[in-house]
Chains A and B, each alone.
Chain A
């Protein structure tokens, strides 16, 4: 089957630092990919380049037939980026729910404002997604009244309401108290089971081991090793991967 995500020769600098060094990879539909690696290796930057929250200087990103070539200018380029963002949903480490909106308002904001969906229809869709993350009862709560785990689940519902083809998760559980991590992982598991294509940066090795189809190990702006969870966790080939994993286990 042909890939739903194609990243080719992606390069990104912050000032002098070369953060992404000619990254290329493909993702098959319904594939779940976990990206692991040391802090500062460029995992977030990569994910943020996929929906152009960061502008790479060179390379191409293609998601479900929408291709954006880095470094473009003008209206067409902006429109392509917009189309790319509609194909992807993103979940942030710090949730980033709209603070002045209730849970439901957060979820319907995209459909109503971006897609121009009638409010009534959007509310139906929004409630459907809140139910999916188990928070229909919290529809009228403001984020400040929700726990971190609940906020993150609403954030997932908000992304899902745009009906993306690919979900990008950037350490979705890193800001959570340990006892709240499970509820977010459970929602992500549900998405895996529904066949969502997922690109996840995570330190939750349990989740990666159990649900990832492929693990990419990032080091200093490059993928230096990849493979199935068994391969990568049990028989890492590269010295640096081994060091990282043994560091995690201790």
Chain B
């Protein structure tokens, strides 16, 4: 029989295992960060314009027109506000439509259900770009001429609203049946229950997924650029890029802006999500 003194006690073993895990995680993080640095260095090299020989092979890298970049960056940056504005207005419209759509889908009234289903099917069954053209090119035929911003918000809002009905529906259904029953028992009407009990709780549930939609929306606003009526990021990039035959640089600037905005909003989003996950009741 082995001497039990040879074995560290259980808590000690747990501590050792935890320490090993921690070290493993640290090594992984270090590896990831090193890889980022290498990746960045390669990117910088790729766009440095340097030509060099490596093991007898000649490499030439992309040379960027930095003068153009510094000169035109402010102009393209000028579109950031409009991109965000477009996204905010569209997500508000989309949320309202999604709520109506969800209520329709959950409704016992045949026309409400049919209307919601029709809306969702029609929007999901056609391309977003076509929907944008419809508002900008289709409607003027009937004398309805919208500004680019209005048309963009309508098209994006309508489109995202259809996709977001599922989110709203899940949010509404996540509110337990016990909540409704308690409300019924004190004599609340269906309308009062919706307004006072179900929706306030559903909204807390849908804020994180709506945040995700908003981030996706930020990038889809670029489709509005095609219309040529809204001076958002991509439209500005195309304009200066074409004018100077510097499309690559212009698109690169636009890409960086979209990327930064997305990273910023994603950070906000994940903090919001963590906040919600902690079960905080107040926003």
Using a CB–CB cutoff of 8 Å, the interface residues on chain A facing chain B are: 51, 53, 82, 85-86, 88-90, 92, 94, 96-100, 109-110, 113-114, 142, 144, 155, 158-159, 162
- Is B15 an interface residue when CB atoms closer than 8 A count as contact? no
CA distance A110 to B193 in the complex (A): 11
Measured between alpha carbons, how far is A97 from B201 in the docked complex, in Å? 12
In B146-199, the 8 Å CB interface with A consists of: 176, 178-179, 181-189, 192, 196-197
Contacts of A99 in B (CB 8 A): 179, 201, 281
B204 partner residues in chain A, CB cutoff 8 A? 100
Q: What A residues does B176 contact at CB under 8 A?
A: 96
Task: Other than A114-B187, A144-B279, give 5 A-B pairs with Cβ distance below 8 A.
Answer: A85-B186, A89-B185, A90-B185, A97-B182, A114-B192
B187 lies within 8 A of A82 (CB): yes
Most buried by B among A82, A89, A100, A144: A100
Give Cα distance in the complex from A110 to B196, angstroms. Answer: 11
**B200 interfacial by beta-carbon distance below 8 Å:** yes
**Of the residues B181, B186, B192, B279, contact of A158 by C-beta under 8 Å:** B186
Give the distance to chain B from A43, nearest Cβ to Cβ, in Å.
Answer: 16
Indicate whether A53 sits within 8 Å of B196 (C-beta atoms), given known contacts A92-B178, A98-B179: no
CB neighbours (8 Å) of B183 from chain A are 98
Q: Which of B178, B182, B204 has the most CB of A within 10 A?
A: B182
Q: Could you list 27 examples of A-B contacts with CB < 8 Å?
A: A51-B184, A51-B185, A53-B184, A53-B185, A85-B184, A85-B185, A85-B186, A85-B187, A86-B187, A89-B185, A89-B186, A90-B182, A96-B179, A98-B183, A100-B201, A100-B204, A100-B281, A109-B186, A110-B187, A113-B196, A114-B186, A114-B187, A142-B281, A144-B281, A159-B185, A162-B186, A162-B187
In the complex, the chain B residue whose C-beta lies closest to that of A115 is B187
Contact B186–A159 (Cβ < 8 Å): yes
Given A98-B197, A100-B201, A109-B196, A92:B182 Cβ within 8 A: yes
Q: Let me know if B181 and A92 touch, CB within 8 A.
A: yes
Nearest CB of A to B268, in Å: 23
**Please, which residues of chain B bring their CB within 8 A of the CB of A94?**
178
> What separation, in Å, do the CA atoms of A224 and B94 have in the docked complex?
58
When distances are taken between beta carbons in the complex, the residues of chain A under 8 Å from B189 are 82
Q: Mark B198-230, 1 if CB is under 8 A from A, else 0.
A: 001100100000000000000000000000000
Q: Which residues of A contact B181 (CB under 8 A)?
A: 53, 92, 96
Q: For the complex, what is the distance from the CA of A88 to the CA of B192, rounded to whole Å?
A: 19
